Chain A
Amino acid sequence: MRVSMKVDGVTYEDEVEPRTLLTHHLRDGLGRVGTPIGCDTSNCGSCTVSIDGESVKSCSVLAVQAAGADITTIQGLAEGSEWHPVQKAFQQHHGLQCGYCTPGMIMASVDLLTRNPSPTEDEVRHGLEGNLCRCTGYQNIVKAVLSAASELRGEGPIAGSFRDADEPVPATSGASS
């Protein structure tokens, strides 16, 4: 089937098999490999992208179902070289380690903050329930999202548990609040 969709600002028109998953079309068809695949049961959320402003696991959608859609992947989130506040917050709060879940986690977080600009810690945890991370234990992801929320509200990023990047940490103090 002939399918047209806009991905990260570029319109593509391609012939796809009706059974092709959107995630495979993005990766194999369009070469948008910034969105990785972590499972085959729509549990892990690594492949989360934004379709017409809503976060969707791209393995749970057929490419043909996304015909005519405006899709943003992690590769289209930054404005030029200026990262989205959620991207910045993930680095600042060390919300990633291996980084494999990160594209999906960030896209899900962006959507979460669109729907709830002032979430509590608990709301962030539940809002990201569909995205698995095996490295971080989630604590720093939650902090990053809360910090990005604050920044998006115009209140500036919140201080993290870490001391400022430029300040050496005293030898025997607790490393976190």
Chain B
Amino acid sequence: MTEQLDAGLVAQEIAEHPDALSKPYAGGELGRGRRRKEDAKLVTGQTNWTDNITLPGLLHMTVLRSPMAHARILSVDVSAALEMPGVIAAYSGADLADVMGASMPCAWPVTPDMVSPVHTPLATDEVRYVGDGVAVVIARDRYAAADALEAIAVEYDQLPAVVDMEEALKPGAPLVHSEKGTNQCFVFDFPGAGADYAETVKNAGDDAVVVRRRFRQQRLIPTPMEPRGVVVAPIAAADEFTMWSTTQIPHILRIMLALTTGIPEHKLRVVAPDVGGGFGAKLNVYAEEILCLVVARKLGRPIKWTESRSENYQATTHGRDQIQDIEIACTKDGTLLGLKVELLADMGAYLQLITPGVPVLGAFMFPAIYKMPSYHFTCTGVFTTKTPTDAYRGAGRPEATYAIERIMDELAAELGRDPMELRRQNWIKHEEFPYEMVAGLTYDSGNYEAATDKAEQMFDMAGLKAERDRRRASKDPVQIGIGISTFTEMCGLAPSRVLGSLSYGAGGWESASVRMLPTGKVEVVSGATPHGQGHHTSWSQIVADSLGVPFEDVELVAGDTRSSHKGMDTYGSRSLVVGGVAIHKATGKVIEKAKRIAAHLLEANEDDVEFGGGTFSVKGSPEAKLTIQEVALATFAAHNLPDGMEPTLDSDYVSDPENFSYPHGTHLCAVEIDTETGFTKILKYVCVDDIGKIINPVIVEGQIHGGLAQGIAQALYEEAVYDAEGNLTTGSLVDYLVPAAPDLPHFDTGRTETPATSNPLGVKGVGEAGTIASTPAVMNAVVDAVRQYGVNDIDMPATPERVWRAINGEGSARATAGTVAYGGTSTGSTGGAAADEALDDNRSAL
């Protein structure tokens, strides 16, 4: 057929090199455990990390950071630094005030009256957290730049630190931003889409059972293994710039840099080269990105900044940090009446890109998989003199899932019911989907029964319960606890109209382009930017399946605003459910165009041409066929196309999701607690996740494993601790416990498959599911093991010390002295007079 096409030189070339033409499509790409294309460079050290980039004349930037949590800057003197060998320039905040922009962006004003303080890349008047940038040095190499920081003299007038959210809200408290007159950033009140909570509980009268708890979402440090870094190459004469950054969001970053610095968007190219993990911490617009850009513009020289890990712990956003007052109500038979959520969310010192939006996202997630007529959510954002918080794997949903899954266990204990049985009674049945939730979302699909049945079977629930009860009865020093988490989450951010209704500053669509090359190979361009997720592999599978071309013949183009010019990037488990769907739809347009050309070349009526397995054929004439690669070549040659036909098969699609994606699953955890040391060991971890149709089970399992590790780490290991003066006392990997291989168990993973109905691939997001689900599963297990000692909560992380203290009668073993345990009125034991009294208290509190 190739010869008939008479494509001239290209055809000749291919005739002489038959390998250049694609092999036929073997089929079965979707659901196949392909090993990853990206691994070749990663396992051989041929990766292009930002810090690997070097350019002629490259200069190095370092940042002098505040050693104090809060202080007025009296003076910054960089003159001695300028005398140091190899130093090219040094600037204070005041020196750059004219060029660094008025304020860094926060794209999510969650309320119209949100307090949004000015946030300059370098502090000019006050420093507001340990790590706040004060000055920069530009030198010939990184050692010289580091040395010169020590020669900068800064005079500070120390101001009081603000570290405790509740104290911060009291009248007369020291202010983080004195000009704002308050430490309160916003109050977001959401009464849900159902009945009034207080009214509903009141109407239930004596039949109402109410349980309250105060949960603490400790502050976490995301810790992608690659710290951040930036390189900026200017073309000074043209005022044009290329930035390489360790970012999850090159597209959003470009827009924000343009808006912040005034450099026109089309004069900026932003590249995310190979990026070593992000977990939300690289979903931002950072001071150092702006500083490198404006300094490169000022000096006309390329600039590099590479973050050290200790800097990363101070200067890269943290996650979580909420105080959650949770109240749940049901009737005596266990039917839920409603849920009331009051959050305090620590913003840190400033608002980064989506800082205030993170806890607000949780508003839609607290009711989780449970049917209830009423719901009320309130969140107060609070400024403190700490590193700003922002997205961290799950962003708002882990916090919500933790609270609901923990309090379901507490409610079960209160009622003397089995926690799984109580969940079964209240969750949405599989035949009830689509289901409109009390929080306003409509869940498209799910089957909580199937996932739970399978998980229980894998877990050996009956056997573990028997062993737990045996040890309990025998007062064994090593006790067993069993924890459940039957979770769902909302991901695949997001339908643009929903984001608009939440005042988010952009849409939630994703862009894809499919380019058919003359030799039949395919380049797929995606606006979702990979940083470890395996996009090259999964997208190749989607394209191969759809176009009927070999997996090996597809290449991904992403992460560069020049070649992938449009995108919303990667976060919120959106790459597949938004970006992958866009790719799928773009391939559909390619096939549509190719079909017209094939019909023309085959001299057939378009309606008689069928496409399958990469081949166009004519109904009833088995010999008349053309492969899609042959059509691509013919289109390139353009010698014989239908009249008026544009000579290209290349197609774009921008896909705006019609709904969020709702993966769900059941996670079961058994822990062993040594009651003499308080040490917790995970005996068994089983999870069954339902993420709909699966493109690549190997990649999916990797995502689940990594998510579990981070969720378990929140439960047992990690906590960013600030002292009363606002010093980060867990400021390096020495003090902040990122789990190593011996700290984590073997995970038993399984899955059920309930396809999403909101996208044509039937897929759901998976990037954050493991993190969201696992924390409450572990903590429910920990509390289950020690509930017999009168314990009904332990703060995270459940360190040996906290567990030991809890067992030994020191209440909830809270880290913060003076905190009222359990919200004051809840039960310390199940049943009996104490419980009745607590219930009365709860009811009267309504």
Residues of A within 8 A of B (CB): 17, 19-20, 24, 27-28, 31, 33-41, 43-44, 46, 73-75, 77-78, 83, 87, 90-92, 94, 96-103, 106, 121-122, 124-126, 128-142, 161-169, 171-176
Given contacts A166-B32, A168-B31, contact A140 B43 (CB under 8 A): no
> Is B332 in the interface zone, CB < 8 Å from A?
no
Which among B43, B141, B732, B741 is the interface contact of A91 at CB below 8 angstroms?
B43
> Is B49 in the interface zone, CB < 8 Å from A?
yes
Contacts of A28 in B (CB 8 A): 141-142
Are B46 and A75 touching (Cβ within 8 A)? yes
Contacts of B309 in A (CB 8 A): 38-41, 44
Are B142 and A136 touching (Cβ within 8 A)? no
> Is B751 in the interface zone, CB < 8 Å from A?
yes
Are A98 and B35 touching (Cβ within 8 A)? no
Are B44 and A162 touching (Cβ within 8 A)? no
Distance of A22 from chain B, by nearest CB (Å):
14
Query: With A and B bound together, what is the CA distance between A65 and B683 in angstroms?
Result: 44
> Is B359 in the interface zone, CB < 8 Å from A?
no
Are B225 and A168 touching (Cβ within 8 A)? no
Contacts of A27 in B (CB 8 A): 51-52
Query: With A and B bound together, what is the CA distance between A87 and B698 in angstroms?
Result: 17
> Is B310 in the interface zone, CB < 8 Å from A?
yes
Which among B44, B697, B705 is the interface contact of A83 at CB below 8 angstroms?
B44
> Is B702 in the interface zone, CB < 8 Å from A?
yes
Among A17, A97, A171, find the residue whose CB has the most chain B CB atoms closer than 10 A: A97
Are B39 and A176 touching (Cβ within 8 A)? no
Query: With A and B bound together, what is the CA distance between A142 and B753 in angstroms?
Result: 28
Query: With A and B bound together, what is the CA distance between A36 and B675 in angstroms?
Result: 42
Are A34 and B732 touching (Cβ within 8 A)? no
Query: With A and B bound together, what is the CA distance between A12 and B320 in angstroms?
Result: 48
Chain B 757-797 interface mask (CB, 8 Å, partner A; 1/0)? 00000000000000000000000000000000000000000
A-facing residues in B579-628 (Cβ within 8 Å)? none
Distance of A5 from chain B, by nearest CB (Å):
17
Query: With A and B bound together, what is the CA distance between A131 and B702 in angstroms?
Result: 18
Distance of A97 from chain B, by nearest CB (Å):
4
Contacts of B458 in A (CB 8 A): 174
Query: With A and B bound together, what is the CA distance between A126 and B258 in angstroms?
Result: 48
A-facing residues in B36-58 (Cβ within 8 Å)? 36, 38-47, 49, 51-52, 54
Given contacts A92-B35, A165-B32, A169-B697, contact A141 B141 (CB under 8 A): no
- 7 CB < 8 A contacts A-B: A34-B44, A94-B36, A99-B42, A100-B225, A137-B706, A141-B741, A168-B30
Contacts of B699 in A (CB 8 A): 94
Contacts of B141 in A (CB 8 A): 28
Distance of B423 from chain A, by nearest CB (Å):
22
Contacts of A31 in B (CB 8 A): 54
Query: With A and B bound together, what is the CA distance between A41 and B274 in angstroms?
Result: 24
Query: With A and B bound together, what is the CA distance between A75 and B44 in angstroms?
Result: 6
The 10 closest A-B pairs by CB, nearest first: A34-B45, A98-B532, A100-B276, A99-B42, A137-B709, A174-B750, A74-B45, A137-B705, A43-B733, A39-B309
Contacts of A39 in B (CB 8 A): 227, 308-309, 732-733
Which among A41, A73, A137 is the interface contact of B45 at CB below 8 angstroms?
A73
Which among A98, A134, A136, A165 is the interface contact of B33 at CB below 8 angstroms?
A165
Contacts of B275 in A (CB 8 A): 98
* Residue in B closest to A81 when the chains form the complex, CB atoms: B44
Q: A75-B45, A90-B39, A169-B694 are in contact. List 5 more A-B contacts (CB 8 A).
A: A77-B44, A97-B706, A129-B742, A131-B741, A138-B740
A-facing residues in B17-38 (Cβ within 8 Å)? 28, 30-36, 38
Query: With A and B bound together, what is the CA distance between A75 and B275 in angstroms?
Result: 19
Contacts of B54 in A (CB 8 A): 31
Distance of A49 from chain B, by nearest CB (Å):
10
Are A44 and B750 touching (Cβ within 8 A)? no
> Is B834 in the interface zone, CB < 8 Å from A?
no
Number of CB contacts from chain A to chain B under 8 A: 224
Are B142 and A100 touching (Cβ within 8 A)? no
> Is B708 in the interface zone, CB < 8 Å from A?
yes
Query: With A and B bound together, what is the CA distance between A98 and B272 in angstroms?
Result: 13
Among B45, B227, B532, find the residue whose CB has the most chain A CB atoms closer than 10 A: B45
Are A128 and B740 touching (Cβ within 8 A)? yes
Chain B 673-692 interface mask (CB, 8 Å, partner A; 1/0)? 00000000000000010000
Which among A94, A125, A169 is the interface contact of B35 at CB below 8 angstroms?
A94
Given contacts A136-B702, A166-B32, A175-B749, contact A34 B46 (CB under 8 A): yes
Query: With A and B bound together, what is the CA distance between A138 and B733 in angstroms?
Result: 18
Among B141, B275, B746, B747, find the residue whose CB has the most chain A CB atoms closer than 10 A: B746
Which among A33, A98, A131, A137 is the interface contact of B747 at CB below 8 angstroms?
A137
Given contacts A163-B33, A169-B33, contact A98 B225 (CB under 8 A): yes
> Is B224 in the interface zone, CB < 8 Å from A?
yes
Which among A99, A106, A176 is the interface contact of B38 at CB below 8 angstroms?
A99
Given contacts A37-B51, A92-B35, A129-B740, contact A134 B44 (CB under 8 A): no
Which among B43, B277, B694 is the interface contact of A106 at CB below 8 angstroms?
B43
A-facing residues in B219-249 (Cβ within 8 Å)? 223-227
Contacts of A87 in B (CB 8 A): 43-44
Are A168 and B28 touching (Cβ within 8 A)? yes
> Is B842 in the interface zone, CB < 8 Å from A?
no
Given contacts A139-B746, A169-B697, contact A35 B45 (CB under 8 A): yes
Which among A74, A75, A137, A173 is the interface contact of B708 at CB below 8 angstroms?
A137
> Is B575 in the interface zone, CB < 8 Å from A?
no
Query: With A and B bound together, what is the CA distance between A43 and B734 in angstroms?
Result: 7
* Residue in A closest to B457 when the chains form the complex, CB atoms: A174
Which among A74, A169, A172 is the interface contact of B44 at CB below 8 angstroms?
A74
Contacts of A99 in B (CB 8 A): 38-39, 41-43, 47, 274, 276, 532
Are B277 and A97 touching (Cβ within 8 A)? yes
Are A139 and B747 touching (Cβ within 8 A)? yes
Query: With A and B bound together, what is the CA distance between A131 and B741 in angstroms?
Result: 8
* Residue in A closest to B42 when the chains form the complex, CB atoms: A99
Are A167 and B741 touching (Cβ within 8 A)? no
Are B51 and A96 touching (Cβ within 8 A)? no
> Is B825 in the interface zone, CB < 8 Å from A?
no
Are A162 and B47 touching (Cβ within 8 A)? no
Query: With A and B bound together, what is the CA distance between A169 and B143 in angstroms?
Result: 52
Contacts of B655 in A (CB 8 A): none
Are A41 and B225 touching (Cβ within 8 A)? no
* Residue in A closest to B30 when the chains form the complex, CB atoms: A168
Distance of A62 from chain B, by nearest CB (Å):
13
Contacts of B40 in A (CB 8 A): 91
Which among A19, A34, A165 is the interface contact of B143 at CB below 8 angstroms?
A19
Given contacts A17-B143, A169-B33, contact A135 B706 (CB under 8 A): yes
> Is B752 in the interface zone, CB < 8 Å from A?
yes
* Residue in A closest to B37 when the chains form the complex, CB atoms: A91
Are A94 and B702 touching (Cβ within 8 A)? yes
Query: With A and B bound together, what is the CA distance between A75 and B28 in angstroms?
Result: 35
Query: With A and B bound together, what is the CA distance between A135 and B458 in angstroms?
Result: 25
> Is B534 in the interface zone, CB < 8 Å from A?
yes
> Is B533 in the interface zone, CB < 8 Å from A?
yes
Contacts of A141 in B (CB 8 A): 741
Distance of A54 from chain B, by nearest CB (Å):
19
Contacts of B193 in A (CB 8 A): none
Contacts of B741 in A (CB 8 A): 124-126, 128-129, 131, 133, 138, 141-142
Distance of A162 from chain B, by nearest CB (Å):
5
Which among B38, B277, B688, B749 is the interface contact of A135 at CB below 8 angstroms?
B277
Are B36 and A91 touching (Cβ within 8 A)? yes
Are A138 and B49 touching (Cβ within 8 A)? no
Query: With A and B bound together, what is the CA distance between A122 and B743 in angstroms?
Result: 11
Contacts of A46 in B (CB 8 A): 225
Which among A34, A125, A130 is the interface contact of B47 at CB below 8 angstroms?
A34
Query: With A and B bound together, what is the CA distance between A165 and B551 in angstroms?
Result: 12
Query: With A and B bound together, what is the CA distance between A171 and B700 in angstroms?
Result: 13
Which among A24, A131, A140, A172 is the interface contact of B753 at CB below 8 angstroms?
A172
> Is B456 in the interface zone, CB < 8 Å from A?
no
Are A41 and B310 touching (Cβ within 8 A)? yes
